[in-house]
Amino acid sequence: MPREYVHRAAVSEVFLTHWEADSADRFSVTAQWPRAHALFVPVGGYQDPLLLVESVRQTGALLAHAQYDVPFGHQFLMWHMSFDARPEALVAGPRPTEVVLRAECGDITRRGGKLAGMEYHVTVERDGAPLATATAAFSCTSPSVYRRLRGDRTGGASVPMPVGIAPESVGRQGSRDVVLAAADPHSPHRWQLRVDTAHPVFFDHPVDHVPGMVLLEAARQAAHAVTALPDALPVGLESAFARYAELDAPCWIDAEAGRPDSAGRVPTTVRGTQNGKTVFTATVVLCPTRTR
């Protein structure tokens, strides 16, 4: 898959391999998830569900460019992302995981004859069996409109990067992949977002704001930290993005764990704020799993 279709600079970060139109506004997209990845590392014998999230994100960008004629260089803004996955379908095998994402696009809006945004629903299959469902929505703008929208934000400096919390507390193997920093010993469920603009995956290419995938990783890590379940598998997500997370001001992540359901799944609500305003909200569902 050409990397410009999915807004990636590194070929290794392109997970989609093929697409075809099934009917009007319905498409089948194939993806391959590696057995080893610099960031999305299998844990306990299960593939990282954020591979699913990134594949869904890439699917939206691909279809916008390849099927709806959005020019390269347009800017995309994700408004929401959700998924619900079956843990048993995420088991890592002896080969890369091949999946099919069946996407149905709707709520399509156009401006001046050009695609301005859409929502799409995805059913993910592995070996013909259901793996997950997902929904996402985004809007896209031309470079000139984006420059007017962002103003002087396009070249600002980022805040100093604080020291991250212990990697093992958030299900991470290395300190560089930690996106949370202790903010206040009296507020154990609040962290400062730790933004490493040199990170080769989170910042695959230069951008003027914190990418949505960094915010979702922060939500995932906050869920691990607040529940003390660093090895649990994220099997559900509901997220909404209200505004850009800027690089030049601290962003605060607050989390609160809910009660486990009858299957032991624990929902955690997460909120990111910056300059007193909500940047995003998310609910992450963790499922304790047995190591395979």
pLDDT at 190 over 90: yes
Total-model pTM: 0.95
Determine the average pLDDT of the residues in 4-21: 97
| Torsional sign, CA 206, 137, 240, 283 | negative
Confidence grade of residue 250 (pLDDT, cut at 50, 70, 90):
very high
pLDDT at 226 over 70: yes
Q: Give the number of C-alpha atoms closer than 13 A to the C-alpha of residue 230, restricted to the C-beta side.
A: 11
- The residue behind tokens 């992450």 is 284
Confidence grade of residue 291 (pLDDT, cut at 50, 70, 90):
low
Q: Return the pLDDT at 187.
A: 87
Confidence grade of residue 43 (pLDDT, cut at 50, 70, 90):
confident
Percent of the chain whose predicted confidence (pLDDT) is above 90: 89
CA dist., res. 62 & res. 58, Å (int): 6
Among 109-113, 157-161, 177-181, the minimum mean pLDDT is found in 157-161
Cβ-based burial of 218 (10 A; exposed 0-12, middle 13-18, buried ≥19): buried
**How many other C-beta atoms are found inside a 10 Å radius of the C-beta of residue 264?**
12
Determine the average pLDDT of the residues in 238-258: 97
